[in-house]
Chains A and B, each alone.
Chain A
Amino acid sequence: MEKVKKGTWVRIHAVALGVADRAANIPEDTRSVPLEQWTKGRLLEDASMGDEVQVKTACGRIATGNLVEVNPQYELNYGKLVPELIEIGESLRGMLWREDK
């Protein structure tokens, strides 16, 4: 596997609290899984995907975790069209502007 170069902007993942360490008074479905964490930063040494690495984050903090993504991207979008919203707009504009014409 090709090495990811030192200095690359990456996302890392770590387990913040294992199942045994979770707080007592939380719902069962939450307590039965670990508390996980992700952050981003510049890689301090060359590494391969999945390796435990250290990064320097945006505020200059050194964080440790497993390398999971290189040049992490935002996958946000506006979702699939919800056609009901078109209908609400049409009907409201109809009620206010078209009905009396």
Chain B
Amino acid sequence: MTHYDEMMAKKNQIMHSAIGIDYDDFEQEGIAFDYERMMKETGYTLEELQKIQAEFFVGNTPILEMTNLTALARKLAPEGYGARIFIKDEATNPSGSFKARRASIAVHEARKRGYKGLIAATSGNYGAGVASLAAKAGLECIVVQETYDSRHVGQPEIVEKARACEAYGAEVLQLSVGPELFYKFLQLLEDTGYFNASLYTPFGIAGVETLGYEIAMQMREQYGKDPEVVVVTNAGGGNLTGTARGLIKAGALNTKIVAASVDLSGLHMASDGDFNRKSFTTGHTGFGVPFCTNPDRSDVPRSAARPLRYIDEYYTIRQGEVFFMTEALANLEGLERGPAGNTSLAVAFSLAQKMKEDEIILVQETEYTGAGKHLNPQLSFARDNGIEIFFGDPKDEVPGKNIILPKDPSLIEAQPLDMDGLKRSYLRNQINKKGSKDFGERELEYLREEMNVDQAQLEEFLKEF
């Protein structure tokens, strides 16, 4: 057995002591487990979440109306079309993104249960979120991130994230490309006895429920209604799951949940050679699609992020279109944010043109920007890595080869992903897991919940296998 295999064999035991959740307790017949009971018994009520987040100065972020982006969308839309575009300015959280919401609950849980520190395996904003709130709570923090390719060239956005984490007093262990990051993560958990601040525990998801809840409450108070559409940038599914659950808890049952991911099709997420050929390190299809169709591929036995249960529609958008909208946000609204967090903004700009003028489409996050993260260094870095950047039709963009900036904003067009295709892949994964499609009663009920379908629809899907 290699060191790697030895460590992986100890995975369940290490995870149990580093999270404190007995996941076996929620297992049911075959492939099924009791998701809602897991969320209830290991999570927090909305009131408790709000109280914890208030203590960390997290949440209650403003909602801003993008009047100029709306005006631009209306110039491109047919008469009477062009929904009002709003953003929830999550960049105003400590550490500059909605990830502070998830981190606050993990840090609270770790402190309450007497852990001396937390470890997060993340190259993104979540690391900064955990580091920042661990600093506030007086806990130690280690962030493990995938930073460099084998030439020791770092992705600028990830290098910036390391700087932010270190600014908050965390240790940042930086690795070269490879999924064995998980091996180092387990080793550190075992060596330190720290809490696993996984993005996928019930704490990590519940922390986002306040975001969805605030959207409904703020919009009702300021504009007298719930938004018709909320657009969520989707990667691991936690942002979407938490936001949707929060909206449901607020009774906003008619709000359509739209997922948005940057189209990085063709690039392999574990490839050393592809690592620095992508200009988005998250919010892309390389995470968004596999985590939808197989949510339990995360770093915990049962992920609390289950996006397929909540997505009404799913759109992809290209890198060049998101960069264009990032520039538009700065030039027309006076807000420097993102770019990665603007994935949902670019999708919203496109969808708004198909909605009526009196309707509301809300983008549920923004993120901070700065050296490395900003769109100029990202594009400059891409150009240095041989990616062609030019004006044209974004439909011709090939991830890893070029980034096509729309030569006109009318060319920005979100592309629908086939939801039935995603549900079919999900079902295929579950059939493979079970080894047959001979599901028991509770398993069928579980599949209906997971795929968000009724019995007749499920039977149609099952016929295909």
Q: Give me the interface of A with B, judged by CB distance under 8 Å.
A: 16-17, 20-23, 26-27, 29-30, 33-41, 57-61, 74-82, 84-85, 87-89, 92-93, 95-96
Contact = CB atoms under 8 A, between A and B. Distances in A.
Given A36-B176, A40-B166, A93 B331 contact: yes
A88 B328 contact: yes
Residue in B3, B148, B176 with the greatest tally of chain A CB atoms within 10 Å: B176
B133 interface: no
Contacts of A29: 271-273
B181 to A, nearest CB: 8
B192 A61 contact: yes
Contact of A58 (B166, B176, B374): B166
Interface stretch (B24-32, B67-75, B423-431): B67-75
Contacts of B371: 76-78
B332 A96 contact: yes
A16 B180 contact: yes
Nearest to A21: B2
B159 A74 contact: yes
A69 B179 CA distance: 26
B272 A30 contact: yes
A33 B150 contact: yes
A93 B175 CA distance: 42
B235 to A, nearest CB: 20
Interface string B374-414: 11111111011000011100000000000001000100000
13 contacts: A23-B183, A27-B270, A29-B273, A30-B177, A40-B166, A41-B171, A59-B142, A61-B142, A77-B377, A80-B384, A84-B390, A95-B75, A96-B68
Given A61-B192, A77-B371, A96-B71, A39 B180 contact: no
Nearest to B119: A59
Contact of A59 (B147, B170, B272, B374): B170
Contacts of A40: 166, 171-172
A36 B272 CA distance: 12
A85 B375 contact: yes
B191 A85 contact: no
A27 B268 CA distance: 8
B192 to A, nearest CB: 6
A33 B142 contact: no
B406 to A, nearest CB: 9
Given A79-B376, A82-B380, A82-B389, A16 B175 contact: yes
Contact of B380 (A21, A79, A93): A79
B216 to A, nearest CB: 31
Contact of A17 (B159, B183, B405): B183
B437 interface: no
A17 B170 CA distance: 24
Contact of B172 (A39, A77, A79): A39
B365 interface: no
A5 B179 CA distance: 36
A59 B171 contact: yes
